[in-house]
Amino acid sequence: MLSLAFSAGLLAQPGPPDRVAVIIGFERQPGASEEALVRAMGGTVRHTYRIIPAIAATLPQRAIEALGNHPLVSVIEPDVRLYALDEYSEAWGVAKIGARLVHETSPFNKGAGLAVCVIDSGIDTDHPDLKTHAGGWDYVNGDNDPADDNGHGTHVAGSIAALLNGPGVVGVAPEAKILAYKILDASGSGYFSNAIAALQDCQAAGGKITNNSYGSSQDPGTLVRQAFDNAYNAGILHVASAGNAAFLTCNEVSYPAKYDSVIAVGATDSGDTIARWSCKGAEVELAAPGVNIKSTYPNDTYATASGTSMASPHVAGTAALVFNCGLGDLNGDGNLGTNIDVRLRMQQTALDWGAAGRDTSYGFGRVQADVAARNCGTQPQPPSVPNAPSNLAVTGGRNYIALGWRDNSDNETNFEVWRCTGSGCTNFALIATLSANTTAYTNSGLKRSTTYGYKVRATNSAGASGYTEVKYATTTAR
C-alpha cells in the first residue's frame, strides 16, 4: 500500500546520466534573463520561484561549475529526493485526541473553510469522504489533476478532513478545505524542488497549514529551508512527520521536519506509547496517533497504515480547529490567532508524556484537540478523567462471550475491553477499543469450553478511569 522509505536522496532525476537536478539560487529574483542563462548552459528550467530567488533545473554535469562562477548565482544545491514516511497497519486516532468533543460541543468547530495544503501523492478527488477537496496541482505530471496513484496522499487527507457523513471515517477537521499538491509519484518518492513549488502555490491559494508527510535524511540545503521559512513568516503553519526507522530505532529527525519553522511530529499508539520506529530528536515538537490508523484510500475505499506520516495529519487537523476557534494573541505580537499563536496553543495544551517537559520522543506531548480548540479565549482547562464504568456482566455462548456494563461518565471518548484466559487469570491484555457511549461488546471467535476474564475502563485525552470489577465466563461446549 505505502512505502516505508527513509533514505538519503540521489541527485539525478530520471534522464540522461550526465544531467543533474539542482536548485540554483540567484542574487536577485530570477526572470527571463536568468532562465535564458540556465538554458544557455544546456539546462532545462523546471520551476522559477517567487517564494525564494531561485530556479529549479536539470543541468549537464559539466555546466554546474561554470554556472556556479557566474556573478548572479549565489548557490547551486542538489535537488534531493524525498520519500513518503510510513508503515502499514490499522485505526482509531481522531477520538483519541478528543476531536469529537470539538465537533459536538458548542460552538461546534469542525474547521469550516480553513484551507490545508496536503503536499503528498495527490488525492482521490471522487472519494465520498473527501468532498472538501478544493483544488491543487500535479507537479509529477504537470497538470491540474492531482490524482493519487500511490494512496499515501489520500490516506493523509482523510485523517485531516474526511467528512462527518456517517459511513467510513471522519477527519480531525471534517469541514476544512483540502488543497492537494502532488509531489510524490506512484512509488512514493519525489523531489524537494516540487515541494518548494507546492509551498509557493499553497501560499498563493490562501492556504493556512501545510501537511508534509514525507522527508529525507539528507539535508536538501539552504534554499529549501528558506522556502519553508519564508512561507512560515508569511503566516503559514507547517506540520511534518518526524520520520521512521527502517530498522530498530531512529535518533535523527528527517527534513523538512528538522527545520525550526516546521512542527516535527512523532507517532504514538493507542496507549500513548511512542512507536519504536518513530524518529526521535531535539526537534520533535508534538506527538500524535500514528499506529494502525484507518483512513480514506483510492477507489472510494479505506485502508489502515502506520507511520509518522499518519501522525502528522492529526496535528495539521488540530491546527485547523485551533485556527477557527477565536484564538487570542499568545506570542504578544499584537496579532490575534496567527500561525505562531496556534503553534504555541498546541504546545501548551499537549498531554505531557515521557520525561517531564519537552523531550526527544514526545516533544511537548501528545496533541489534545479537545483542550487546544475549545474555550480558546480562556486559559486552557484539561478535561477530567472519566468515571469508571460499573455493573459488568458477562455471558458465555458456544464460541463467544457477551459483555454489558453501565456508563457512569459523559466525557469518555473510548471504552477499552481487557481480557485474560483461564479461571482466576490476572494477565490481562487490551482486545478492543470502543467508541463513547458503548455499553455492550461481544467477544467472538473464542475456544469452546474455555474460561476468560474481562474488565472494562473508560478513557479520554486526560487519561483512563479505573476498571470495572473483573468477571469470568466460560464458553459452552456446543
In one letter, which amino acid is 185?
A: D
The helix or strand, by DSSP H or E, that contains position 463, with its residue range, turns out to be strand 463-464
Strand-strand pairing, 400-406 and 87-88: unpaired
pLDDT tens-digit profile, the chain (478 residues)? 222 222 223 233 444 458 899 999 999 999 999 999 999 999 999 999 999 999 999 999 889 989 999 999 999 999 999 988 754 333 478 888 988 888 888 778 999 999 999 999 999 999 999 998 999 999 999 999 999 999 999 999 999 999 988 778 899 999 999 999 999 999 999 999 999 999 999 999 999 999 999 999 999 999 999 999 999 999 999 999 999 987 767 999 999 999 999 999 999 998 899 999 999 999 999 999 999 999 999 999 999 999 999 999 999 999 999 999 988 888 888 888 999 999 999 999 999 998 888 999 999 999 999 999 987 765 555 678 899 999 999 998 888 899 999 999 888 888 999 999 999 999 999 999 988 888 999 998 898 899 999 999 999 888 899 999 999 999 987 6
pLDDT score, position 98 = 87
CA distance 290 to 271: 11
Structure-block grid coordinates of residue 287: 506527538
CA distance 188 to 176: 25
CB atoms within 10 A of CB 408: 15
Q: What secondary structure letter does DSSP report for 23?
A: E
Is residue 152 among the annotated active site residues?
yes
CA distance 77 to 64: 10
CA distance 122 to 101: 30
Structure-block grid coordinates of residue 412: 469518555
Q: Which of 339, 345, 445 is nearest to 102 (CA)?
A: 345
Strand-strand pairing, 81-84 and 214-215: antiparallel
CA distance 159 to 171: 4
Backbone torsions φ then ψ of 48, nearest 5 degrees: -115, 115
pLDDT score, position 379 = 56
The four Cα atoms 136, 292, 359, 209 give a dihedral, to 10 degrees, of 10
Please list, in sequence order, all residues whose beta carbon lies within 8 angstroms of the beta carbon of residue 16, skipping any fewer than 6 positions away: none
Strand partners for 395: 402
Q: What secondary structure letter does DSSP report for 18?
A: T
**Which candidate in 309, 312, 361, 465 is catalytic?**
309
CA distance 475 to 65: 77
**Which candidate in 3, 89, 103, 120 is catalytic?**
120
pLDDT score, position 436 = 82
In one letter, which amino acid is 463?
A: G
Please list, in sequence order, all residues whose beta carbon lies within 8 angstroms of the beta carbon of residue 10, skipping any fewer than 6 positions away: 81
Strand, coil or helix: 96:
helix
Is residue 70 among the annotated active site residues?
no
pLDDT score, position 15 = 42
What are the chain's domains? Answer: 19-80 (3.30.70.80), 83-372 (3.40.50.200), 390-474 (2.60.40.10)
pLDDT score, position 8 = 29
Residue whose cell numbers read 507511520: 307
Cα 140 off chain centre by:
22
Residue whose cell numbers read 511534518: 240
Angle at 254 between CA 87 and CA 177, to 5 degrees: 70
Strand, coil or helix: 386:
coil
Strand, coil or helix: 416:
strand
Cβ pair 280, 361 in contact under 8 A? yes
Is residue 120 among the annotated active site residues?
yes
Cα 132 off chain centre by:
18
